[in-house]
Amino acid sequence: MVSATKQGSDSAAQDGEPVRRTTPHPADTGLNPGSGALDGAEGDSSPQDGTGHGTGGHGDGLAPGLRHVAFRAGIWRRRALIVTLRVVRLVRTGVVRFLPGLRYLGRALQKRWRRSLQFRTVLTTLMLAVTSFAVVGAYLSNQIANNLFQERLTQAESETRYNVKQVQDTFDGAQVTDQSSVITLVSDTLSAVEGRGSVIQRRYVFEAMPNQTKPRNRWVESRASDQLTVSVIPADLRKAVQESGKDQYWASTVIPVGTEDRPGIAVGNKVTFNGTVYELYLIYDLNTAQQTLNEIQSVLWAGGAVLVLLIGAVAWYVTRNVVSPVSHAAMVSEKLAAGQLQERMVVRGEDEVARLGASFNHMAASLQEQITQLATLSQMQQRFVSDVSHELRTPLTTVRMAAEVLYDARDDFDPINKRSAELLYNQVERFQSLLSDLLEISRFDAGVAVLDAEPEDLLQVIAHVIEGAAPVAAEYGSEILYTAPEGSMIVEMDARRIDRILRNLILNAVEHGEGKPVTVTVAANETAVAVAVRDHGIGLDQAQAARVFDRFWRADPARARTTGGSGLGLSIAMEDTKLHHGWLQAWGRKGDGANFRLTLPLRQEDGISEPPLQLEPKDVTTPGAPGSIPAEEGNRNMLVLQAGGATPAPPQASEETP
């Protein structure tokens, strides 16, 4: 953009903002203006005849010299290709090696961002501070640059107006007629203009306007300071000066000084001498102002960086004072949850954080007292149960021996005594079972139960349990349907405890199955094996299924104990399952029976990713049962237990479960 001011005005009238224009000096282009363009000469330089074939060569149409050049060019092309491939391979290797590190760093920062309130707060503060300082710094830098430029522009316009008037007065009063005198006058006058200026270093370009009649006595065409030429003047500025009258115009430009380019302002006017109109441009060097601006920007950015670091340090210190007690409280809470009830927070001062710590310590002390009381009461109960169980073993053994003697001799008694002997024998057996369960529960409560896990075939254990439950199933009129994969199923387990779990589940299903079939289904996947025991009896609702593993719990407390054992079987089964790091779950529905699923890991060090069987059975009809069992794809061996024992299905009868 070019701006004009009227000659003789009291103040500089600016039409618009200056436009910086970079006009490269010919010396900086690296080209010789007098040389021709040789780029287009690199073609096929071999001589051609009229047929398009070379005039010399050995069948390839090339002279020996050109053939040697082509051979060397091919070698260099191959070398360049090899180097390019090596560089590409090196870059790819670097990316492959550094990409995991960058990913790890990104994941670490993301994890730190999620888990650390202090890190998140400090980083957010730094980002906001950097953004704020960048915006403010850019605004201040722009305002300072504009003010410096306007100051230099006002001074340049004022000095140019004064110096142009002096030049025109000198030319108007000159009394020279010969060429040497004219040249000397012009040079001295322009040199005086160049030497003036209090702050800004000033140069000039003096050029006769084109397209005007050349007077007989015009001996000066152009003059310029140092290495300047008229090419440093923007074309828009020259056009504005040439088309104007006595107006003054200016534009931003670039001044070549030595080997560097400096910013400047070119102010143009017209002057006349001996009937010839000249363009006089005074060029002002803004390098000093640019250096001042650079120093100011450096100070701004350095000060901003230091201030951002100080803000980050302040934010870190403040957040540390706030977050540290919270982190300490979280650590103490974790220790309390782990059982270290004596842990407390360190309280300093009387502020909100100190009151929080005091309240936390008071809460921890209250919890410790209550937990200690409950633990003491639980230990007393456990010790009482253990002591009573041990103390009852000796008299119970004696009573059992006497009951067995009476039971064996019951045929010699009258009917009343015979019935009494049978009742005594049965109740002593029940008492013996209850005492054994109490002793086992006391071992679990004392934490002395040990898992003796070895690789065993789970299918053999299940078959043994089903065979032992056959008399009870026959007594209740139920049959047991056994569905399992072919072959063996090796699981790391304590066979004695798994036998007890399955015996409890199957006998419980038989006793509550109301004479309907009981289904035992086995399935496995890559990490776990599951055994589902399904009955079609009275069933359970959701609340009962949630409490079925509680000690001494019964679905119908008012119901007489004509069925069921000690009430501890499922509780012991749950404890045995926990020792195996497995799952024991129950599903039930009123009128549709219940389904108990035991899930065990194949190896104790591995976890259970997904159970092989679903807990809620699918609706698949079984023979003689209104309920449903899960159906699995694949061949199955079926063992049907009826009254009288177990009868394996023949191998040729193996088929999918209907």
The runs of H, that is alpha helices, within 230-351 are: 235-243, 287-337
Sheet holding 248-257, edge to edge: 3-5, 248-257, 260-273, 276-285, 202-208, 222-224
Dihedral sign for Cα 332, 336, 339, 344, please: positive
Cβ burial, residue 641 (10 Å; 0-12/13-18/19+): buried
CB 190 within 8 A of CB 163: no
The token duo for 169 is 């007065």
407: nearest Cα among 432, 428, 384: 428
- State the residue for tokens 């399952």: 577
Please compute, for residue 518, the number of CA atoms within 13 A of its CA located in the half-sphere on the CB side. Answer: 35
The token duo for 389 is 């169980």
C-alpha to C-alpha distance for 292 and 296, rounded to whole angstroms: 6
C-alpha to C-alpha distance for 501 and 506, rounded to whole angstroms: 9
Separate counts of helices (H) and strands (E) for the chain = 11, 15
Residues 296-348: pLDDT tens digits?
A: 889 988 988 999 999 989 999 888 888 888 888 888 888 888 888 888 888 88
* Residue 658 confidence (pLDDT): 26
CB 268 within 8 A of CB 238: yes
Q: Is 487 helix (H, G, I), strand (E, B) or coil?
A: coil
* Low-confidence residues of the chain: pLDDT under 50: 1, 4-59, 197, 199, 558-563, 619-658
250: nearest Cα among 65, 13, 71: 13
CB 658 within 8 A of CB 620: yes
Residue 200 DSSP label: S
Residue 385 main-chain phi, psi, to 5 deg: -60, -45
Give the containing element (helix H, strand E) for 501: helix 495-512
* Residue 251 confidence (pLDDT): 92
Residue 175 main-chain phi, psi, to 5 deg: -120, 70
CB 609 within 8 A of CB 527: yes
* Residue 269 confidence (pLDDT): 92
Query: What does the angle CA 592 – CA 597 – CA 602 come to, to the nearest 5 degrees?
Result: 160
**Angle formed by the axes of helices 495-512 and 458-476, nearest 10°:** 30
CB 522 within 8 A of CB 462: yes
Measured between its terminal Cα atoms, the distance across the chain in Å is 93
Average pLDDT for the chain: 77
Distances in Å between the Cα of 133 and the Cα atoms of 137, 141, 299, 329, 482 are 6, 12, 13, 36, 77
Q: CA torsion 403→405→408→410, rounded to 10°?
A: -70
491: nearest Cα among 569, 599, 583: 599
Residues 565-579: pLDDT tens digits?
A: 567 778 888 888 888
| φ/ψ bin of 150: left (φ > 0), alpha (ψ from -120 to 50), beta (otherwise) | alpha
Q: Is 272 helix (H, G, I), strand (E, B) or coil?
A: strand
Q: Is 270 helix (H, G, I), strand (E, B) or coil?
A: strand
Q: Is 355 helix (H, G, I), strand (E, B) or coil?
A: helix
Q: In 258-352, where do the E strands start and end?
A: 260-273, 276-285
The token duo for 635 is 């061949």
Q: Is 624 helix (H, G, I), strand (E, B) or coil?
A: coil
Residue 241 main-chain phi, psi, to 5 deg: -70, -40
CB 361 within 8 A of CB 344: yes
CB-CB neighbours of 611 under 10 Å: 20
C-alpha to C-alpha distance for 313 and 307, rounded to whole angstroms: 10
